[in-house]
Amino acid sequence: MALLFPSIDVIKRKKPQPTEGEWTLLRFLVDNYDDQYEVYFQPFLNGDMPDIVLMRRGGGVMIFEVKDWDLTNYKIDEQGKWHVVANRATNYENPFYQVMRYKENLYNLHVDELASLRLKDYKYWFVVNCAVYFHCHTEADAKARTQGSKPTDKYKKWLEKNITILGKDSLQKETLAPILWEKRISGRSYYFTDSLYENFHRIFQPSIHTLEMGEEIHLDNIQAELATSVAGQRKRIKGVAGSGKTLVLAHRAVDAVKKKHEKVLILTFNITLRNYIHDKISQVREEFSWNSFEIANYHNFISGQLTNLCLKSFRETLNGLEGKEKENEWERTVYGNLDLFDGFEDRLPRYSTILIDEAQDFKESWFRMIMKYFATEDTEIVAFADEKQNVYCRKLDSQKQLVVPIQTGSWDKRMCKSFRISAKIAMLLEKFQKEFFADRYNIDTIQSRQMEIGEEAEVHYLSYIPPMGTKEERTRDVVSFVYNQIRSRGINSNDVTILASFVDTLKELNELLLVESHEKTNVMFETKDEEKKIIESCRKKYENYEIDDEYRDVNIEKNIKREIDRFRKMRKATFWMNRGTYKLSTVFSFKGWETPVLFLIIETGAHHGFSTLLSLSDKANDIEISGYEPTKFSDELVYTGLSRCKGKLYIINIDYDEGNQGNNRYDTFFTSLPSSIITHDIHSL
Portion of the chain with pLDDT greater than 70, in percent: 88
DSSP letter for each residue of 591-624: TT--EEEEEEEE---GGG-HHHHT-GGGSSSS--
Beta carbons of 625 and 637 less than 8 angstroms apart: no
Does position 436 have pLDDT exceeding 60, yes or no? yes
* Mean of the per-residue pLDDT values of the chain: 86
Q: Is the dihedral of CA 119, 62, 43, 579 positive or negative?
A: negative
Q: Which helix (H) or strand (E) holds 435?
A: helix 423-436
For position 452, what pLDDT does the model report? Answer: 44
Question: CB 579: neighbour CB atoms within 10 A?
Answer: 13
What residues form DSSP beta bridges with 62? 54, 129
The alpha helices in 459-527, defined as continuous H runs, are: 471-488, 503-517
Checking phi first, is residue 148 left (phi over 0); if not, alpha (psi -120 to 50) or beta? Answer: left
- Confidence category of residue 200, pLDDT binned at 50, 70, 90: very high
pLDDT tens digits, 69-126: 999 888 887 666 787 876 555 567 789 999 999 999 999 888 877 888 888 898 999 9
Q: What is the DSSP letter of 398?
A: T
Residue 638: name the closest of 584, 597, 582, 591 by CA. 591
Segment 499-507 shows an average pLDDT of: 90
Beta carbons of 181 and 56 less than 8 angstroms apart: no
Beta carbons of 579 and 493 less than 8 angstroms apart: no
Planar angle of CA 216, 218, 224, nearest 5 degrees: 125
Segment 303-321 shows an average pLDDT of: 74
Residue 382: is it exposed, middle or buried by C-beta count within 10 angstroms (0-12/13-18/19+)?
buried
The alpha helices in 228-322, defined as continuous H runs, are: 245-260, 273-282, 298-308
For position 75, what pLDDT does the model report? Answer: 82
- Whole-angstrom CA distances from 15 to 12, 19, 63, 100, 347 are 8, 11, 21, 25, 11
Largest CA distance in the chain: 80
Does position 179 have pLDDT exceeding 50, yes or no? yes
Does position 565 have pLDDT exceeding 50, yes or no? yes
Alpha-carbon radius of gyration of the chain: 26
Segment 242-250 shows an average pLDDT of: 95
For position 119, what pLDDT does the model report? Answer: 85
For position 393, what pLDDT does the model report? Answer: 85
Does position 155 have pLDDT exceeding 90, yes or no? no
For residue 467, cis peptide bond before it (omega within 30 degrees of 0): no
- Confidence category of residue 550, pLDDT binned at 50, 70, 90: low
Planar angle of CA 422, 587, 633, nearest 5 degrees: 100
Contacts of 413 (CB under 8 A, 6+ apart): 238
Amino acid at 210: T
Does position 379 have pLDDT exceeding 80, yes or no? yes
Residue 229: name the closest of 355, 57, 404 by CA. 355
- Whole-angstrom CA distances from 184 to 143, 188, 425, 589 are 23, 6, 56, 37
Q: Using CA atoms, how far apart are residues 32 and 14, in angstroms rounded to an integer? A: 24
Q: What is the Cβ-side half-sphere exposure of residue 15, based on CA atoms within 13 angstroms?
A: 5
CA torsion angle 529 535 538 541 (round to 10): -90
The set of long-range contacts for 140-145, using a CB threshold of 8 Å and a minimum separation of 24, is 140/167, 141/71, 141/167, 142/71, 142/166, 142/167, 143/167, 145/71, 145/72, 145/74, 145/76
